[in-house]
């Protein structure tokens, strides 16, 4: 049996794939060369998970890889109708980012409740100004997205004494369905967006939804930037419909320097870093190697994405 060809859509630093020596013919490409190389690949590793090159290259002529793995939780950057309709198996990096993102959300909640951004500003100004902060134990959170990341967030917030409701695609034990979301938003102190990007979730946090929230509520998005209508959020903050927000993901990344979000009141902006802890790339590489070894021996793959839904089902 010929050695399978593994094509890597590169990003720096490159993944450590030494364990696959002799088990795969490893080729590398950038976005410009992807279309020409796809027909010769048995497996595609989308290491550059910020690239949309797969969406552009996949509809071309010739054979396509039997398996595509993306080193990310989301798959919207690579999914196109032709890939969704194909027999190609798609897997993601489920499990790598769950706890780091949950910790990041907890940090944002604490920072906003304890007014840490203002404390740092006052320190830089050498200004001593006593204030009172909010107690978070006993508050309520809604986490929109009931997958592993959403569940990790709920667990971590629960350890801080926050009562948390999970909202998923459909109601089930311990998870509310979409029909409950508006009611839960109206009572929440914290609203966390952790849903995958699908047709149903695109733009779900709009002016109407921000209008439902309490004036004391705070909003956090660590899911996908397109979950939020950014102009509506900026208006909600400017008009004090909500007390504050934190965004780690954006519709356009990097966030343009002329975006109104940079100056939005009571908004924390971070550069899509909530899941990126020291050593995270090595973990992503090791996860792929383990999956490849399963694939090469005919074992069932883990983290298989439902290509119609856009995420790993059953959780």
Query: Could you list the active site residues?
Result: 224, 253, 272
Helix, strand, coil abundance in the chain, percent, nearest 5 = 35, 20, 50
Residue for token pair 């039997």: 66
Helix (H, G, I), strand (E, B) or coil at 89: strand
Contact assessment for residue 25 and residue 4, using Cβ atoms and an 8 Å cutoff: yes
Give me the sign of the Cα torsion angle 235, 237, 239, 243. positive
In this structure, is the dihedral angle defined by the CA atoms of residues 220, 225, 228 and 231, taken in order, positive or negative? positive
Bridge partners of 143, per DSSP, are 166, 192
Question: Of 79, 99, 117, nearest to 156 (Cα)?
Answer: 99
Residue 66 tokens read as 């039997």
d(CA 54, CA 69): 11
| Tokens (6 digits) for 188 | 């929440």
């Amino acid at each position: 049996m010929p050695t399978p060809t593994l094509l890597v859509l590169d990003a720096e630093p490159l993944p450590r794939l030494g364990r696959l020596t002799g088990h795969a013919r490893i080729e590398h490409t950038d976005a410009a060369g992807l279309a020409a190389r796809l027909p010769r690949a048995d497996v595609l590793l989308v290491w550059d998970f910020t690239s949309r090159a797969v969406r552009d290259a996949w509809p071309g002529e010739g054979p396509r890889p039997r398996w595509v793995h993306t080193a990310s939780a989301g798959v919207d950057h690579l999914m196109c109708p032709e890939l969704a309709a194909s027999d190609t198996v798609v897997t993601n990096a489920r499990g790598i980012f769950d706890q780091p993102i949950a910790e990041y959300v907890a940090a944002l909640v604490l920072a906003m409740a304890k007014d840490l951004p203002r404390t740092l500003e006052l320190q830089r100004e050498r200004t001593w100004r006593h204030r009172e902060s909010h107690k978070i134990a006993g508050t309520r959170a809604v986490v929109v997205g009931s997958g592993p990341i959403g569940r990790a967030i709920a667990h971590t917030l629960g350890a801080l004494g926050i009562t948390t409701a999970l909202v998923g695609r459909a109601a089930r034990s311990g998870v509310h369905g979409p029909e409950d979301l508006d009611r839960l938003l109206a009572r929440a102190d914290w609203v966390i967006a952790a849903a995958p990007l699908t047709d149903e979730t695109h733009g779900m946090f709009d002016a109407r939804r921000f209008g439902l929230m309490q004036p004391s509520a705070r909003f956090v998005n660590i899911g996908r930037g397109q979950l939020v209508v950014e102009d509506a959020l900026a208006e909600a903050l400017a008009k004090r419909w909500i007390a504050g927000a934190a965004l780690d993901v954006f519709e356009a990344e990097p966030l343009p320097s002329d975006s109104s979000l940079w100056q939005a009141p009571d908004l924390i902006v971070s550069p899509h870093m909530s899941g990126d802890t020291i050593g995270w790339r090595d973990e992503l590489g090791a996860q792929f190697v383990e999956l490849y070894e399963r694939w090469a021996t005919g074992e069932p793959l883990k983290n298989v994405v439902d290509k119609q839904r856009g995420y790993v089902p059953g959780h």
